[in-house]
């Protein structure tokens, strides 16, 4: 993944083979080599705070903890998975779920 930022937009370019490998799935023979996603948004930094501003709109209220808490937890799990600390099955068991991969 290669995120880039232009004025007023964020461009994310993904390698389809790399994505298929990370997801542990096969890549369709007709699949394109790269996937590009352009988002009408920009990153605003103020001190240590970083905000994603979508469509040029300033946020009217702080984000809800019911949204940010799962995102923070998912980021933590992803970091641990990428570091090889455990696999999906171990993570699911640890969190009281099951993994059907």
- Residue 36's nearest CA partner among 12, 6, 16, 18 is 12
What is the Cα–Cα distance from 98 to 2, expressed in whole angstroms? 32
- Evaluate whether 12 touches 39 at the Cβ level (below 8 Å): yes
pTM score of the predicted model: 0.42
Taking each continuous run of H as one helix and of E as one strand, the counts in the chain are 3, 5
pLDDT tens over the chain, length 101 residues: 555 555 678 888 989 898 888 888 888 889 899 989 888 888 778 788 887 777 766 666 777 888 888 889 999 988 988 898 888 888 888 888 887 76
9-15 and 2-6 beta bridge pairing: antiparallel
């Amino acid at each position: 993944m290669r995120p880039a930022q232009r004025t007023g937009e964020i461009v994310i370019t993904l390698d389809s083979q790399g994505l298929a490998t990370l997801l542990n799935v096969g890549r369709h023979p007709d699949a394109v080599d790269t996937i590009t996603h352009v988002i009408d948004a920009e990153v605003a930094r103020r001190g240590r705070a970083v905000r994603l501003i979508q469509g040029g709109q300033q946020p009217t209220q702080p984000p809800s903890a019911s949204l940010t808490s799962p995102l923070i937890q998912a980021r933590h799990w992803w970091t641990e998975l990428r570091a090889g600390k455990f696999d999906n099955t171990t993570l699911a068991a640890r969190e009281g779920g099951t993994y059907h991969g």
